[in-house]
Structure 1
Amino acid sequence: MLNLSKAEEFIKPEANCLASYILEMLTAIHVNDFKQSFAHLPQDPYLEGGYRFRRLSHFKVDGDRLTKLPHRRLFQSREHNPLLGDVVREYAELDDELIQLEDFQRLIWEFFQFCQLCSTSQEIGVHQIRTTASSEKLGNPAPEGIHRDGVDVVGIFSVDRHGIGGGETHLYKTKDTPPAFSKVLNPGEFLVFRDEQYFHYTSPVNATTDEMGTRDVFVLTCPGLFPPDEA
């Protein structure tokens, strides 16, 4: 069990969860402290191409206490994920060293402030994802296309972009209309939105040099996404 760091810089957002998305720069979080943990993520075995790497852990917030929950698998219905829907997926847990970082706990606390506005759940899933690109192959952060996750609240926190172009994040009111939001998320930027209100998508990334390019993000959801027998 961990104590959540309630930094003075983080003020509970006075926002209506029905209003719109929230985009903020979390200057109090030092993204450089996260970078090393992305360097040894396991490859995502459920996607062809070997361009995505991933870990996943689940947490519960109770007052100022953050508890890491026992290992749980990932599941989305085919309605929300036409590519990997109805597939029970197994990912390694986040590294303990990362979880112990004060800035990582601050990120969860910041996200939970929005969750309290829009959800009754105290459970948060944290996906640590690296998408790579080379001169010969694009990386696709959202191979399922424009989609919803099937949760209450989604947060995308950008940690690093190295040697890549593209990777623009879009929010859509409907799949058939132009995006209501379009932006490349730079390191330290945090986009939070209500899943029921917006579809989302991130465009492919391309390498801008002969070396491997990388896009590193945390995707947070409230609640997590569990198989029916684990919900």
Structure 2
Amino acid sequence: MSAAAAAPSVPTPSIAELADGLKRAGHVFLQGAAMQPLLQAERALDDWPAFVAAWDGMPLDTYMADGGRYRRRLYAVYQADAGGIERAAHQPHFQGLEYNPLNGNVARWFEPIADAVGSGATMHAVLGFCHRLFGSLAPAVNRWHVEVHQFRIEAAAGEAGKPTPEGVHRDGVDYVLVLLVRRHNIASGTTTIHTPAGDDLGSFTLTQPFDATLVDDHRVYHGVTPVEPIDPQQPAFRDVLVVTFRAA
């Protein structure tokens, strides 16, 4: 799918409306037909086909404590402030066990997101959108530590792929964006939202390119159900971009 071939038109909320939604509920689900114009307002998505193709051939995540070989991953870090958004030196991803009981307390060195992707129009449209939205929610923050993850979750006959193998969780940041890039030949992958006490706040499934979830990580927990192949003889995968913002 090209950036120009969006889903049928739906109302596109303003940044202020999205901020109000996050303040009220702690999470917002955006259909791709609403999300795409928000990104295009930041920058033309001229490199979208190359952006999508960047999920092909990614290396396996070798840090999976459950022994799973269903996740592929690339990673980058940025800094965002009033002067703009710049990529930072490559560094490990670290989460404490309180946020990731499966793979926490390990400095995980993932291969870097390719320079052409990390500096491209689509990536900077996504980062610019997040900076405007999350910055409006926390105007006192002068500088953000931004982490970006390319994830491919693969499913095969007899082995479901787990988008959130650590279970329902927080990420240990301030705000999160999950953007669907592509899904192929999979069933399920339903996002669930919960209160810190475990109460169910709702669920939805990212099915179309640009479908997105926005999360206030202090207020809600989130998880995604395992994905399974529809046709077990064919490749089956779910590609997402995850962006987290934390006050630096």
TM-score, with length taken from structure 2: 0.80
Q: Deviations over 1:39-96 (max 9, x none)?
A: 0211100112211000110112233632100011111111111111111111111101
Tell me: CA distance 1:18–1:201, structure 2 relative to 1, closer, same or farther (3 Å): same
User: What does residue 215 of structure 1 align with?
Assistant: 238
Equivalent-residue separation in structure 2 for 1:112 and 1:167 (angstroms) = 27
2:59 partner amino acid: P
Q: 2:175 aligns with which of 150, 153, 157?
A: 153
Shift of 1:101: 2.0
Aligned 8 A contact 1:152 1:221 in 2: yes
CA contact (8 A) 1:175 1:199 kept: no
Q: Contact conserved, 1:55 with 1:93, CA < 8 A, in 2?
A: yes
Aligned with 2:204 (options 183, 189, 196)? 183
2:60 is aligned, of 43, 63, 66, to 43
Separation in structure 2 between the aligned mates of residue 139 and residue 183 of structure 1, nearest angstrom = 18
For 2:58 and 2:133, locate their aligned partners in 1 and report how far apart those are by CA, in whole Å. 28
Which residue pairs with 1:127 in the alignment?
Answer: 149
Equivalent pair of 1:169/1:183 in contact (CA under 8 Å): yes
Between Structure 1 and Structure 2, which shows a larger proportion of helix residues? 2
Q: Is the aligned partner of 1:27 residue 2:32?
A: no
Q: Percent identity?
A: 27
C-alpha distance in structure 2 between counterparts of 1:108 and 1:10, whole Å = 18
Decide whether the 8 Å contact of 1:133 with 1:164 is kept in 2: yes
Please point out which of 142, 148, 151 is paired with 2:164. Answer: 142
Any idea what SS the aligned residue of 1:78 has?
coil
Worse-superposed segment, 215-224 or 26-35: 26-35
Deviations 1:137-169 (A, max 9, x none): 110010100111110001100000001001111
1:202 paired with 2:224, answer: yes
Contact 2:196 2:219 survives alignment (8 Å): no
Partner of 1:59: 78
- Give 5+ residue unaligned stretches, structure 2: 1-11, 40-44
5+ unaligned residues in a row in structure 1: which ranges? 1-8, 225-230
Instruction: Give the whole-Å Cα distance in 1 for the aligned partners of 2:171 and 2:119.
Output: 27
TM superposition outliers: structure 1 runs of 4+ over 6 Å: none
1:6 corresponds to? none
CA distance in 2, matches of 1:64, 1:103: 19
Query: How many Å separate the matches in 2 of 1:108 and 1:75?
Result: 21
In 1, Cα distance between equivalents of 2:223 and 2:79 = 27
Deviations 1:3-46 (A, max 9, x none): xxxxxx99533424432222223224555442210002111001
1:193 and 1:164, CA in 2 relative to 1: closer, same or farther beyond 3 A? same
2:172 partner letter: G
TM-score normalised over the length of structure 1? 0.86
Partners of 1:128 and 1:134 lie apart in 2 by: 20
C-alpha distance in 2 between matches for 1:11 and 1:109: 14
